[in-house]
Structure 1
Amino acid sequence: METIVFIGSNKSGTSRDALRVSEELGYFTVLITDREKFVLQREEFHEVHQMIYVADLLNKEHIYNEIKKLETSGKVIKGCMSLIDPFVHFAATLSKELGLVELSTDAIFLMEDKTRFRKVMKNHPATPLFDIFKPNEGPIEEWVNDYHSNFPLIIKSPVSNGSKDVMLVETKEKLKQGMNKLCSLYPHSPILIEEYVLGPQYLVEVVVYKSNIHIVGVIEQEITNLHRFIVTGYSYPALLSVEDYLKLEKVVNSILCSLGLTHGSCHLEIRFVKGEWKLIEINPRISGGAMNRIIYEGSGIDLVKETVNLNLGEEPSFQRQYEQYVYVKYLTVNSPGKLIKVTGRGRASKYEGVKDVYVKPRKGSILVPPLSMGDRYAYVLAAADSPEKAKDIATNGAKEIRFYLEPI
């Protein structure tokens, strides 16, 4: 039985979409997960034919043993992949060693750590000014006092994702506080310090097949929390002039060539600063959340499906079926509390143009003001024949959704 093995998945979003795609394509779908909760909720994963719990998903010997058990039971492994940090490189390495698809593992390795790709891209014109603090370089206070770069600055953990542990600091005192916090969270990890560049931010979804670079989508991001960089709005396709798009295309090609990505997928977060494109982040996978649905509703392209095809050694197709504008509005909460109930989903769904309404938390969950992208609790996705109309529909639909919280 032809089988695809997935290393890790979230409960929703593009990683979960990949499981559904695998099942729809007729493959026996195996999820190896480190989340005991998923095992307890096994019946909710209808598209997963076999779920295997492994406490440490980076334990190569253990994962190999589980794959060998699958083969012994008659499963023919056709693919091994992950759309979850930090397992993308690990899964790609397994795929190569199992004699399956060979992705650009060296490039994926660079992209999985922000300090690694910054070092490689140090002299690239798209790279903002940056510095790296290593815990063994001495006391933070001494390092900060000797630091002479202009504020404001961005500090982040090199292994963070979803805007987690990313902070804007505007003074030496805030820099010291932020670095102490990151050192307490990640005592053996360096800290990345970057200049803060101002300009609209875009997300660029890319798939590279045999050195052919395909920019599948460019999405403008709306950031409402400037100190934590929480994206609460996505607009697709981004409205760029031909000149700016061609410049973006050139920069993306140059970045991927510098990293050596000749076979694989990634997404870039990039800002347009005074007429130039500046790379904020790059990750070796499709973006999470509603990204696949955004691109599908706007173009008819199922990016997750084509990413799965890429990991099976098949040529992906990016033929657009139609074109329309899409806007997604995400919801957060302003104060912490225990969720009593959520209302308005049905009303939001009835708005003409609304394609999807998603609410993540269950009754009894603890909700908090956003510190990362994981603290976004619902979204409304709308499509229309103009970007303004799509945004109005999604925004008005989102106003119908209300979280009732018991203060904590």
Structure 2
Amino acid sequence: MPAALPRLAFVYSGFNTEDPPLLLAEAAEGVASLLWVLPDARELPRAVLRMLRGLGDVVDVSSLPAAEAAAVLGQHAPEGVICFNDSYLVWAAELAQALGLRSFTPETAHRLTDKLAQRQALRDHGLPTPGFWDADELVDASALDTSALDAVAREAGFPLVLKPRQGHASQDVEAIRSADELATALANVTRGRMLVESYIPDPTDAQTSAGTAPYVSVELMASAGTISLLGVTGRPPLAPPFRETGYLFPAGLSSDVREKAIAAAIDAARALGVEDGPLHVEVKLTDDGPVIIEVNGVAGGGAIRDLMQRALGVDVVQLAMRVAIGEQVTFDDLPRPVDVGFLFEIQPDADARTIVAVDGLDTVADIPGVERVIPGLRAGEEFSWRTGTPGFIAAILGAAPDHASASRIRQEFYDRVVVTAR
């Protein structure tokens, strides 16, 4: 009789940062028996709750502090805890600590989910960081001294970047281009929510393949203190103000630039105290070397997972599950990708408010290399750039023989699809 699989407590909230339950259950096959832990079942539709019950045991610990939730969960004897949602990463870490299980420590989880705490930790460890300020402190300082914001402007210059301390997918991230704009923006921030940063400069010479943005994400897996590289993902140019428009795997980098980006990402992981778990580290490439944009304590989401699985034959979600149940997961040398996988998105203009029409999308599947067309916003739907990357018009997924070919596919996609908005 085969041995029972270890029980893995999956902290699930159903937000769009997480994969659907069926995909998560598929990743767990042969690895772990999933125990769905619901920190707030009120957020989940009834259909999702029924699906979860069909995929494993469900433990509803809605609104309980982690210590009390651990007492309930302990009755089910889980051998690991995992969470793929930033909103509950600290809570899940506290849960794991109370149960004596491997995970991020609560302190590390806090640094991974609060960009202000993260910036402070990176700076304290001597890593290069942009200038940064707690928006609350700027509001308080400017109330006492009207020249306080002028001092920030003199130190950092413009543009500045106003971004949530906790958030994802470029939501509510905006460029601030003058002292007046900064004063106006700060007058409307919610206390405890926002961070101001100086803009990390673009390199004067291209450091990535033609037609791509000067930043990448480094995908890592930490296991008992050993950090393994899974890959480096490139990006097409951003849509204003800071919305992503897709991914390329692998990134088009010289070996020297690639190694420097990887080293910076690993240094950041160690500065934050990461011992176990997946990491998605965004790195800006500058004339003075790589600078960390942010470190996320979750696997690269959605399309990155798909592109990596296609290229490398490994599922980063399954690897994270293996680490969570105590397996030692390390890699010395993964297969070299034979082509360039891509996801390209079309974002609406930043000043658009309503999508009037989307034409030409029915012809996109004919572009050589395109394997899937993903519709987004439709005619009649309202739009705001504040929704970030998820507010796309359409996306294509596929593969090309090289980065130049991928760039041509992207351009043809953009040429064929005509968006009318007002």
TM-score interval (norm. to shorter): 0.7 to 0.9
Q: Which AA in structure 1 matches 2:159?
A: P
Is 1:208 the equivalent of 2:222? yes
Provide the aligned C-alpha RMSD in A: 3.5
In structure 2, do the counterparts of structure 1 residues 97 and 11 end up closer, same or farther at CA, with 3 Å as the change threshold?
Answer: closer
Would you say 1:277 and 2:290 are equivalent positions? Answer: yes
8 Å CA contact retained: 1:327, 1:390: yes
TM-score (norm 1): 0.82
Please name the residue that 1:115 is paired with: 116
> Which stretch has the larger CA shift, 22-31 or 153-162?
22-31
For residues 58-81 of structure 1, what are the alpha-carbon distances to aligned partners after superposition, in whole Å with 9 as ceiling and x for unaligned? Answer: 74366346535xx3xxx4423321
DSSP-derived class of the 1:92 partner: helix
In the TM superposition, what is the alpha-carbon distance from 1:171 to its structure 2 partner?
A: 0.5
Separation in 1 of the partners of 2:141 and 2:284? 33
Query: Which residue of the partner structure matches residue 373 of structure 1?
Result: 389
- Are 1:115 and 1:192, in contact at CA under 8 Å, matched by a contact in 2? no
Letter of the 1:262 partner, please give it. Answer: E
1:153 and 2:160 correspond: yes
Q: How do residues 9-408 of structure 1 correspond to structure 2 at under 5 angstroms?
A: 9-10=13-14, 15-16=19-20, 17-23=23-29, 25=31, 27-32=33-38, 34=40, 36=42, 38-42=44-48, 48-50=55-57, 56=63, 59-60=65-66, 63-64=69-70, 67=73, 71=75, 75-122=76-123, 124-135=126-137, 137-139=140-142, 142=146, 143-147=148-152, 148-149=154-155, 150-182=157-189, 186-189=190-193, 191-199=195-203, 200-227=214-241, 229-316=242-329, 318=331, 320-321=334-335, 323=337, 324-334=339-349, 335-337=352-354, 344=361, 348=364, 352-359=368-375, 366-371=381-386, 372-376=388-392, 378-393=394-409, 396=412
Using the TM superposition, give the Cα deviation of residue 276 of structure 1 relative to its aligned residue in structure 2, in angstroms: 0.7
SS in 2 for 1:226: coil
1 CA distance for matches of 2:271 and 2:43?
A: 40
Deviation at 1:290, TM superposition (A): 1.4
2:311 maps to amino acid: G
Matches of 1:67 and 1:349, distance apart in 2: 47
User: Post-superposition shift, 1:307?
Assistant: 1.1
Q: How far is 1:97 from its partner? A: 1.7
Pairwise CA distance, 1:367: 4.1
- Distance (whole Å) between structure 1 residues aligned to residue 68 and residue 356 of structure 2: 38
Cα 1:4–1:339, aligned 2, differ >3 Å: closer, same or farther? Answer: farther
Retained in 2: the 8 A contact 1:29–1:49?
yes
CA distance in 1, matches of 2:372, 2:13: 21
In the TM superposition, residue 342 of structure 1 has moved relative to its aligned partner by 10
Distance 1:45 1:30, change over 3 A: closer
396 and 311 in structure 1: CA distance in 2 versus 1, 3 angstrom threshold: farther
* Of 314-323 and 47-56, the range deviating more from structure 2: 47-56
Residue 382 of structure 1 and its aligned partner are, at CA, apart by 0.9
Distance change (3 Å), C-alpha of 1:370 and 1:24: farther
Identity fraction in percent? 18
Shift of residue 122 of structure 1?
1.9
Offset of residue 166 of structure 1: 1.6
Superimposed CA distance per residue, residues 283-322 of structure 1 (whole angstroms, 9 cap, x where no aligned partner): 1111223110021122222111111111111123556355
Q: Secondary structure at the residue paired with 1:21?
A: helix
Gaps (5+ residues) in structure 2? Answer: 204-213
Secondary structure of 1:77's aligned partner: coil
User: How far apart are residue 130 of structure 1 and its match?
Assistant: 2.2
> For residues 384 and 236 of structure 2, what CA distance do their matches in structure 1 show?
17
Kept in 2, the 8 Å contact 1:301–1:320? The answer is: no
Per-residue CA deviations over 1:143-177 (Å, capped at 9, x if unaligned) read: 32443322221122212222122211111011112
**Cα displacement (A) at 1:3:** 3.3
Matched-pair contact (CA < 8 Å) for 2:163–2:194 = no
Counterpart CA distance in 2 for 1:225 and 1:237 is 21
In 1, Cα distance between the equivalents of 2:180 and 2:320?
44
The one-letter code sitting in structure 1 at the alignment partner of 2:345 is: Y
Greater fraction of residues in strand: 1
Q: In 2, distance between residues paired with 1:166 and 1:84?
A: 19
SS, match of residue 36 in structure 2? strand
Q: Which runs of 5+ in 1 are unaligned?
A: none
Aligned residue-pair number: 394
What is the alpha-carbon distance in structure 1 between the residues aligned to residue 275 and residue 17 of structure 2? 26
Aligned-partner residue type, residue 115 of structure 2? K
2:170–2:243 Cα contact (<8 Å) kept: yes
CA displacement at 1:398 relative to structure 2: 7.3
| Alignment-mate amino acid for residue 94 of structure 1 | L
Write the letter of the residue equivalent to 2:273.
G
One-letter code of the match for 2:249?
A: Y
Query: Which amino acid in 2 is paired with 1:217?
Result: G
User: Could you tell me how far 1:116 is from its partner in structure 2?
Assistant: 0.6
Contact 2:319 2:329 in 1 (8 A): yes
Counterparts of 2:282 and 2:87, CA distance in 1 = 18
User: How far apart are the structure 2 equivalents of 1:265 and 1:145?
Assistant: 40
Alpha-carbon separation, structure 1, partners of 2:11 and 2:357: 34
